[in-house]
Amino acid sequence: MTSSISAPAPAYRHLEYLVDDGIVTIALNRPEQMNTVGPDMRDELVAAFVAADEDPEVRAIVVTGRGRAFCAGADVSGGARTFHAESAGWGPVEEFRDGGGRITMQIFRSTKPVIGAVNGVAAGLGATMLLPMDILLAAETARIGFVFARRGLVPEACSTWFLPRRVGISRAAEWLYTGRMIPAADAAAAGLIGRVLPADELLPAAYALAREIADNSAPVAVGVIRQMIWRVSGAEHPMAAHRVDSAMNHALGQGPDVAEGIQAFLDKRPPEFTGRLPSDAPAGFPWWDEPEFVPVLPRQEQHPTTGSDISEVTQP
């Protein structure tokens, strides 16, 4: 591993953003409010993941919560009209974007591996925020709840895309329809959580995993692999993966990191990878076009038999 200097750590009001030898900790830091998320924390979370992704010396990200909760969801201290568009100042639907989705989309776009250390309750947005993280560890006392239907809402943060990919449609449907709180052990049995640990072992395990990645794996390769996992695993045919891994290895094989990785293996020494993203991205990366946000708008149509108005949600 090469020793390098990261960009200065940004300062936040509702988060802790700590950098230690290539590993960033993003800690939700409203412990008295169980780390519930309001507009300010939402914006800070997006900014923190952007900062970590843009820092070429960051090798891995650990996300956790301060206090007894990971995140108890959205801040509903405003009462029953918390999610009322007018009261919340959301503006017209044409201009509105779900705040949780802004967070998870930024995590999804990251080229740095993201490890979630779930130290306590993760409910609502606290649960959906976990879904685009690569590896999840949880304390034995942690519970996870996709509670939206119990509040009259549908899941946000792109979770109906992420959750079935992680636990399958049947389990996702059960958790989303019931809105029940799920013990960490049950979430692990379903494949959502990788390991369940005593509370005092949770963060040491997360940092040990981040350190293993940082000390042994090429940052460029890890960043490309992360995007391959998330973007290719749902493709219609394995040919999609074959096309991408062929192009990426053709390009990477001509670079210094591959030569260093092989030579370090032959010399029986730790590798010293110099490549960084985005400056040393292989030719063809990114291989995808990022879709733009297009709002779904309601429109009125006539029922084909009764002639009465029906509301159908369509793309413009």
Task: Give the domain CATH number at 196.
Answer: 3.90.226.10
Q: Which residues pair with 314 in a beta bridge?
A: 297
Domain-ending residue, one of 149, 180, 212:
212
Under DSSP, the state recorded for 74 is B
Question: 144 and 127 in contact (C-beta within 8 Å)?
Answer: yes
180 in the same domain as 66: yes
204 in the same domain as 228: no
In a domain, 4, yes or no: no
Strand ranges of the sheet holding 23-28, from the earlier edge strand across to the other edge: 15-20, 23-28, 60-65, 114-118, 135-139, 195-197
195 in the same domain as 125: yes
Question: 52 and 79 in contact (C-beta within 8 Å)?
Answer: no
147 in the same domain as 261: no
234 in the same domain as 111: no
242 in the same domain as 188: no
Under DSSP, the state recorded for 289 is -
Q: Among 42, 192, 176, 36, which residue's Cα sits nearest to residue 106?
A: 42
Q: Show Cβ contacts of residue 226 under 8 Å, excluding neighbours closer than 6 positions.
A: 110, 111, 112, 113, 134
* pLDDT at residue 301 in the model: 57
Q: Whole-angstrom Cα distance, residue 116 to residue 38?
A: 20
Please name the amino acid found at residue 303.
H
243 in the same domain as 173: no
pLDDT tens for the chain, 316 residues long, are: 444 556 667 789 999 999 999 999 999 999 999 999 999 999 999 999 999 999 999 999 999 999 999 999 988 887 877 777 777 777 788 888 889 999 999 999 999 999 999 999 999 999 999 999 999 999 999 999 999 999 999 999 999 999 999 999 999 999 999 999 999 999 999 999 999 999 999 999 999 999 999 999 999 999 999 999 999 998 999 999 999 999 999 999 999 999 999 999 999 999 999 999 999 999 999 999 999 999 888 876 555 555 555 455 445 4
Q: Whole-angstrom Cα distance, residue 246 to residue 232?
A: 13
Q: For the chain, what is the domain count?
A: 2
Q: Whole-angstrom Cα distance, residue 135 to residue 203?
A: 13
